[in-house]
């Protein structure tokens, strides 16, 4: 499937954008909410996001060994990207980062077919303060992975890019809140 940015924006507007009074994960108040799970778990949405993020990856200088992010939000994004990569015979794998290392089995915080020394891209749905993706990047680096950059579905333009830059990470996004005619709050 070829990436269609306008189709993604239309689907996000129809299925994921709500107006009202909301408290975000960052604790900030907002007049709108983006529930990207309605898109990442939607058949067309999963294809649009997977193909869009894969296009960003392919347009970048370095092809990573894997993509992944914080469980549970990044899991369907990761699955979409690796599924489309597999259909194109690309060797891109996926991984997931647990909020904390599990207390049984191998006790890992980073799960999947990745090894220390490999390069990865962190994926995220909505970028607000960047906290969740930064936590995922820090866990990946602690595991020994080299984080190349972060890709988000939508940037609320609320300081996430600056938070990533302060950590030495670049943020790439498929859309921003301005694509919906909304100015940052």
Instruction: Say if residue 127 carries a ligand binding annotation.
Output: yes
| Cβ pair 174, 152 in contact under 8 A | yes
Instruction: Say if residue 42 carries a ligand binding annotation.
Output: no
Instruction: Say if residue 99 carries a ligand binding annotation.
Output: yes
Instruction: Say if residue 123 carries a ligand binding annotation.
Output: no
Instruction: Say if residue 128 carries a ligand binding annotation.
Output: yes
Instruction: Say if residue 155 carries a ligand binding annotation.
Output: no
Instruction: Say if residue 124 carries a ligand binding annotation.
Output: yes
β-strands 66-70, 17-23: how paired? unpaired
CA dihedral sign, ordered 111, 114, 119, 124 = negative
DSSP string over 28-43: -EEEEEE-THHHHTSH
Instruction: Say if residue 102 carries a ligand binding annotation.
Output: yes
Instruction: Say if residue 104 carries a ligand binding annotation.
Output: yes
Instruction: Say if residue 80 carries a ligand binding annotation.
Output: no
Tokens, residue 26: 């960052």
Instruction: Say if residue 67 carries a ligand binding annotation.
Output: no
Q: Which residues contact 106 (CB under 8 A, 6 or more apart)?
A: none
Instruction: Say if residue 175 carries a ligand binding annotation.
Output: no
Binding site residue list for 5-phospho-alpha-D-ribose 1-diphosphate: 98-99, 102, 104, 124-132
Annotated binding site: 98-99, 102, 104, 124-132, 156
- Residue ranges at the known binding site for orotate: 128, 156
């Amino acid at each position: 499937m070829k990436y269609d940015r306008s189709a993604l924006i239309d689907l996000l507007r129809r299925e994921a954008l709500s107006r009202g009074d909301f408290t975000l994960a960052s604790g900030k108040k907002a007049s709108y909410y983006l529930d990207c799970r309605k898109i990442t778990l939607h058949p067309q949405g999963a294809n649009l996001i997977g193909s869009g993020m894969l296009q960003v990856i392919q347009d970048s200088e370095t092809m990573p060994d894997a993509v992944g992010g914080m469980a549970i939000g990044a899991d369907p994004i990761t699955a979409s990207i690796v599924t489309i990569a597999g259909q194109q015979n690309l060797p891109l794998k996926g991984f997931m980062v647990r909020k904390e290392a599990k207390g049984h089995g191998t006790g890992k915080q980073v799960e999947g077919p990745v090894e220390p020394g490999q390069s990865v891209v962190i994926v995220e749905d909505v970028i607000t303060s960047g906290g969740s993706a930064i936590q995922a990047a820090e866990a990946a680096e602690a595991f020994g992975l080299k984080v190349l950059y972060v890709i988000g579905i939508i940037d609320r333009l609320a300081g996430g890019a600056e938070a990533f830059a302060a950590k030495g990470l670049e943020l790439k996004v498929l859309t921003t809140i301005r694509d919906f005619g909304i100015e940052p709050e």
